Amino acid sequence: MRIDEDCIGTKEIPDDALYGVHAARAAENFQISSEKLHPLLIQSLIQIKRAAAQTNLAAGALPENKAKAIINACNELLFGSYNAEFIVPAIQGGAGTSANMNVNEVIANLATRNSGVKIHPNDDVNLAQSTNDTFPTAGKMAMLRSIPSLMASLNRLTKTLLDLAGEYQDTIKVGRTQLQDAVPTTFGKTFHGYYSMFRRDIKRIEMASNSLKEVNLGGTAIGTGINATPYYQDNVVRTLEGTAKLGLKQAEDLIDCTQNCDAYVIFSGALKALAVDMSKFSNDLRLLSSGPQAGLAELILPAKQAGSSIMPGKINPVIPEVVNQVSFEVIGDDVTVTMAAEAGQMELNAFEPIIFKNILKDEEFLTNALTTLNDNCVSDIMVNEAACAKEVEYSAVTATILTPYLGYVKTTEIVKQATRENKSVKELVKDSGLLNASLVDELFKADSLVNERIAVKAMAK
């Protein structure tokens, strides 16, 4: 064991450990869950430390031998070496100081071990920095890095929905409002509606992600840039972006960017909107596939597993169900992000650790849920076309198309009679002689019922 020292006192640390006293204390203090810092957050912090060393070297603030030792250690760590050395829990007090110091300590000890040059975690690795500008910058970088996978999953789902819209463009079905029969539509229109909804989510997330590209790196403790050279302040973000390729730019107001967390609220809100849409879509899938004998049974979802331990042959909509649960989690996490952002005080928000934990988890959950939804459910959906056509034929609500010709009151009487006698509206109207038979045939064609074209009133009797 070796002895490390901080402002609290001394502590024994395993001889071969690259982490130090700050990380060790955090691991003891924050035993809330087994979840550690997100790997993308650690990766981003390491990239920041490398860019800081490069910039401090160019500014003449860090000797070349120390800068090279830090840079080389960062490069080694970015290859995934020594991941077990990052021991700080994801949920932590201190506004991310424990996370920042865990990275500082690992880099310093590895650099010292490899180069023989004594590197200090605060004086050298953390030079011209504060947790208050490195941690939020790393959080934003990690979130931005998760977006491409999320977008890829969303794009795959929208493509599948667009394909289904084309395949079933002429498949007529009964529409429903408030779970009651409504005027007819087609499954092509239904699937295209879902497609449009998720395309809007893509645009919303893309717009929200722009707020993550403004970072406060160079602002140090509260945004004033204390202890950083002018050269460092002007160049560190540019240096970081040279390798990060995330569109990062230094915020115009570093004070504002250090203390206020509305950018995370905006982005989390976009994720929540996606979760709401995914849950609504999943609800519809479960309802439309309900049955198969005693439900709607308009959709046939792929059978993925046995649905009951007691009822033989029962199949449940397990994929939409798991997507619902992911959505509930993301929606709840958005409340946490909102409250954490609101709870910031004065020059700093101390609650960014829970914000980062939740948003990074949500991006991952949503990506996986979308992939599962598309690959294990939507891509193999089948429409029960015969059942849908029969429902439309005997749906009294199709009488709505008669209202311009017969009026609301008379049409209501026809609806009641059709329901009472279990006859089709078309059949009743023809038998009644209220309208010309050719007009009735024209009105009750599928394209008229779904308003693909307007029936010709001149054919009225």
Among the listed residues 308, 309, 424, 432, the single catalytic one is 308
Instruction: Provide the 8-state DSSP code for 94.
Output: S
Cβ proximity of 225 and 123 under 8 Å: no
Q: How far apart are CA 454 and CA 451, in angstroms?
A: 6
Which of 179, 361, 378 shows the shortest CA–CA distance to 268? Answer: 361
Both tokens assigned to 54: 């490069």
How many CA atoms, within 13 angstroms, populate the side-chain half-sphere of residue 170?
3
Q: Which two tokens stand for residue 56?
A: 């401090």
The number of residues in the chain equals 461
Q: What letter would DSSP give residue 306?
A: B
Q: Give the phi and the psi of residue 428 in degrees, each rounded to 5.
A: -65, -45
Does 153 participate in catalysis according to the annotation? no
Residue 364 CB burial class (10 angstroms; 0-12, 13-18, ≥19): middle
Return contacts of 415-424, CB within 8 angstroms, 24+ apart. Answer: 422/394, 423/394, 424/393, 424/394, 424/398
272-292 burial string, b = 16+ CB within 10 Å, else e?
bbbbbbbbebbebbbbbbeee
Active-site residue set: 308
